[in-house]
Structure 1
Amino acid sequence: MSTSLVDYLTELRSLAPEKALEPELKQNRQEQNIKIKEDQDLRAGAVLSAIIEEGEGEDCPQLGDLVYVHVTVRTEEDDVLYSTRSQEGGNGQALAFLIEAGKRAPRAWEIALKTMHLRQISALKVKPSYGFQHPDCQMKPPNGVPVDEILCFEIQLVRWYPAAQVKALPLSNGTYRRSLKEGTTWENPRPPFEVTFSCSICCPSYDGLQMSGFRYFETEAEVPLTAQMGSGQLPPGLEAALTSMTLNERCVFVVEASQMGGPGSPATTSGQDEKDVCSILPSPPNAAAQVEVEVELLNLVQVRDMIGDGSIIKRRLILGSGEFPIDCPVEDTTVRVHYRVRPMRLLEGQTILAAISKRSTATVSSSTSSSSDWVYDSRHPVSNSNEGLQECSPLEFDTGCGEMPNGLEQAVKLMVPGEVSSVACLPEQAYLGRDDVPQGMVADDVAEFEVELVSFDRDGHWQTLSMEERFILAEKLKAKGNDLFRAKKYGYARARYERLQRMLDSTRDYTSQSEVERMDAFKLAVLSNLALCCFHQSEYTVSIMYTTKALEHDPSSIKLLLRRARAKSMNGDHALAEEDLAASKEMGPDESLSQEIEAELTANKRRAKAAEIKQRDTFKSFFNR
C-alpha cells in the first residue's frame, strides 16, 4: 500500500463523525410539533395550576394583548423569592408584557393568563422548562430567583389592553406602545432629526391603569422639550419610542426602567455619567422595573447626514409642497434655487452636527431674514443687505455638472419645491479646489448654506421617455453645453456633454433605422464637442480618445482628423500627428481646410523641433554634471 494512501486513510480516521441531518420541516409542521409536545408536557405535569380567587366577567386576554399582572415567586417550601406586591416586599407596581409577543414571559404565565379573568388570582407550580428556561422566554429572572428549580408562582391579572391597540416596538428591549391619537404625516423621526414633544412619565400603578401611577416627570403645558435624536440627550427607550411616531401622534409607551436611565441602563453599565447621557430627563426611581411614558410629537425637523460621514449635514427649516422623494430632483436636471452662504466656525474637535444642534431654534426663512455674516445671497448678489434692492430671479443650474459645490447640490436633490434647508459642509464638499469661492470666505472654510428650492424641470427618467422625448431632451442638453462652451466654461460644458453621452450610450430600445441614425448623429456631435472641451482644458490624451470614438461614427471627417492631429501634436506625439495630417490631406479638403492643415503641419514641425532641442539640452546638462 502506498504511503499517500496510508496517510489518506489515517486522516479519514481522525475526522469527527458526521452529524445526522435533521429533516427540514415546514413552518406549520414545526408549529404543530411544538404544540403536540407542549400538550404532552402539560399532561405530564409541567405546569400545575389552581384558582385562588375567582375573577370578574367572561373575557380572557388573548394573543398579543398587553397584560398587567402582579406576580409572587416562591420556592416549593413557600419561601418568597420575589414579588411585585408591596405587602410582600415588592414595589407595588404591576408588571406589563404582551402575551406571546414582544419580550416573551415564562411560557407557564402565558398559558395560564389566556384562561384567566379580570382580577383572578391563580397559583402555578412550574417546572424549569416552562419557567425562565423555556426557549421562548426572554424575560430575565429577578435577582435571587433560580432558573433550574421548580418554582411556585402566584399571579393576578389586574388589567389588559387588546392587541388591536398595542404593539411591541421592533428591535426594542421590551417596549410596548398604545396609540391614543393618530398622526398627520407618514414620516418617522430618526437620528439625527430634531424633535419637539410633550412628555409625562410615571411608574405603573398597582391596578395597571396606564398613566395613573406615581408621576415623576411632566413637561409644562407651554414648554415642550426639544432634542436632537442620536446625540445622547434622550434615553434609548424614549428615543426608540419617538422613532415609531409620526407628527402630532400621541401614544403611551411601556418602557423598561433600564432603558430610561435607571439602574442597568447603557450609561451606568458603561461607567459613563448618567447626566452626560440624558441631560433633559430625570432617571426613574430605583425601585421601578418599568415606566409608562405618554408622548405627543409636536414637531420634527428633518436632519440628514447626506453621505454618512458627517461632511454634509442638511437641516430642513421650512416644509415644501410635494411628496418625498417623488417630488424631489433626484435625477440630474435643471433646478432653480435661491441660496446664501457664510463661513461656519467650529470649536476645536466639534462636528458640524453638534454645531447645528446648538442653534436648532434658528429656523428662519432665507426670504425674510437678514444677517451681516452672509457673504453671498443670490437674491441680492451685489450686497449683503436687502434694503432698497430688487430681488433677483432664482439661480438656475443643472445638477450633476459641478456648477455648484457638491454639498449644496446633494442637498437640493433631496428637497421638494418650496422647501428651505440649512446645509453645512466641510471644505471638501464646499469650495475647496473650486474657483468660485465667494468674497469673504476662503477655500478651506466650513460653509453653511441656506437654500430654497424654487422649482425644477421634470424631465423624467431617460429610460421611461419615448424616443421622441429623448431626442428633445438630448437637443436641450446639447444646446446648454454649447452655450457654456461659447462662454468658455469648458468644465461645465464638458459635464453636460458627458451626462448626455451616458444617456445616449444607455439607449438600446430602437424601433427603426431612422432612430438609430438620429441617435448616432447626437453621439457624433457630443463626442466631437467633448474632444474640443478636453483640448481647451489641456487634457490632450482624453481629447484624442473622444476624437477617435467620433471618427468611428464618421471616418471620413477631415475636421475630426485635423482635431485629433492637433491634440496629438500638443501631447508630444508629433509623428502620429503628422500621419493624421497627411491622411486628412489625401481626403481632398476644401481651400479653407487645406490652409488649416498646412498651418498645423508647420506648427507640428515647429513643436517637434522645439521638443528635440529641449531633449538635447536635457541630456547635455545630465552628462555635464
Structure 2
Amino acid sequence: MEDDFDFPAAGEMNDEIMDDAPYDAPTTLKVGEEKDIGNQGLKKKLLKEGEGWETPENGDEVEVHYTGTLLDGTQFDSSRDRGTPFKFTLGQGQVIKGWDQGIKTMKKGENALFTIPAELAYGASGSPPTIPPNATLQFDVQLLSWVSVKDICKDGGIFKKIVKKGEKWENPKDLDEVLVNYEVRLEDGTLVAKSDGVEFTVQDGHFCPALSKAVKTMKKGEKVNLTVKPQYGFGEKGKQETGVPPNATLQITLELVSWKSVSNVTNDKKVVKKILKEGEGYERPNEGAVVQVKLIGKLQDGTIFVKKGHDETDLFEFKTDEEQVIDGLDRAVVTMKKGEVAILTIAPEYAFGSEQSNQELAVVPPNSTINYEIELVSFVKDKESWDMNTQEKMEAAGKKKEEGNMLFKAGKYLRASKRYEKAVKYIEYDTSFGEEEKKQAKVLKVSCNLNNAACKLKMKDYKEAEKLCTKVLEMESRNVKALYRRAQAYINVTDLDLAEVDIKKALEIDPDNKDVKMEYRVLKEKMREYNKKDAKFYGNMFAKLSAVDSKKMGPKEVGPMTIDSKA
C-alpha cells in the first residue's frame, strides 16, 4: 500500500459541495451496539464512548485517525500506520459521503466502526486498484478533535474559526458596549489595522461591518479568526487610507475581552440601563420590596445633584412601586441583582418632567435627562403569594385593590392596572380555599378585573379591556358592567355588531340602566355613520369607479359607570 495514498478523498460523485444529507442522528449507543444512520444503508457501531455531548457540524475542521478495510478484512488504508492524523472540512464534499454523514454524529474522543455502502463511497466505479466496483467499506474511525468553523451570516460572507473558547453562554446584543482586541491582514499577510483594546457599541460597529456581526456570536474571552469577504469588509471601493484595496478579502483575528450589558428598561427606550458590574445569583427585587442602594445622580453636563449612601452612615432605602422615588429609578431597580452596579439614563418623562426640582446638591432644570450611578447593596422581597396562607392572600388582594382604586381616582391608570393584576394573582389559584373563601375570592376577582378593564379603556388598550370583561362574564354571565365595558371596547375597535349584542343583553338584565341606554344611543349613531360611509363608498365606487377613504372613528372614553370600590 502506498504511503501517500490520499484516502478517503471524494470521488467524482462527490465533487460538488454537499448539502446536509438527511439522516437520523442515532440515539445514545452503548459500546458494542450498532445502529443505522439515515436510510441509505450507513451503519455505525460504537467501539469507545466520547466526551461531553457536542458533535461537529458542517464547515468544522475535524481531525481523525482511521483504518479502512473491505468486508473481507483486507486493509487498504490507515492514518494510524502513517502516524499522521487526517484533517478535512466536514460537509464540504472533501471526503466520501458516508464520512460526511457519519462523523457529524461523533463526540470528541469517540471511536466507531462505520459500514458504508457503495452508494455513499465509490459507487459502481470503485477506486482501482485497491477498491473494487460496488464495494461496501468499513472504517474504524476515532474523532480526535475539531475546530468549529461557522458561516455566521449564512451567505459565505464571514467564516469564523474559534481559536480560544469563551466563558459562559451569553453573547453581546445590539445595545451592548464591547471591548475587543483585533488585528486585520490582507490575504497576502499584509497588516492593515491593529488595536489592543477598543470599545464600541455593537449596533454602531467599528472599522468594518464584520466586527459587529462577529461579536454578536461570541462569548466573553473568546478569540476567533475571521475570513471576511468584501461585502462585510470595504466592498468594491476598499479603504485606501488603511491600505485595503478594492474587493479585498480580509483575515481578522478578533478577541472579545468583555462587554457592558445595555438594555431598555421601558418599552419606549426612555429608561436605559448599562451594567458596570454584574450582580450575584439570579433573584431581583419584586414590587413592594425594600431596597438599599448607593446612588449618585448627575445632569448631562456632569453636575451632581444628589449623592446618597456613599459618604453617609446609612444606605439610601426605599420601597419599590410606592412612588418614593422617580418612576425611572423605581422601574430600573427591580431589574437589578444584589451587588449589581449600573448607569441609568432616564428621560424627563420618567424623571422630574417639565417641572424644576430642587435636589440636595443642585437644581434639576425642567425637561432634564438625568443619569444615576447605582449599586443595589441589598433588598428584602415583598412576600409572594405562594408564601402566604389563605387569609393572608385575601387580605393582600383586598389591599392591592384599594391601592388600585386610589390610583385610578388620581388618574394613574397604568399603576392602578398593575395593582388590580397583582390582587387577582394573589387569589387566582383557590383550590385550597374553603367554600366561603372561594365566594369572597370570586367577588374580588370580578371587581378587580372590571376595574382593570376600566383602566385599559382609559389607556385605549381595547383588546385587553375586552379580554378582562370576557373573564368576568365567564364567572358571571349576567354581569351588566362587564357587558357594558366590553361593548365600549368593541365600539372602539369597530366591532359594532358584537357591541350591539352585549348592550342588548345588558338592557335585558337591567332595562333602566342609564349608562347602558346612553351607550346604546352612541352605538346607534356610530352604526348610522358607518352605514352612511359604506353607502357613499360603494355608491361612488360603482358610479365613478373610484373609492373614497372612510374616516377612522375617534376613540370613546370610558363612560360614567364608576369603578367598583365595594368588594
Give TM class, smaller chain. Answer: 0.3 to 0.5
More strand by percentage: 2
State the TM-score, normalized to the length of structure 1.
0.43
Higher Cα radius of gyration: 1
TM-score by length of 2: 0.47
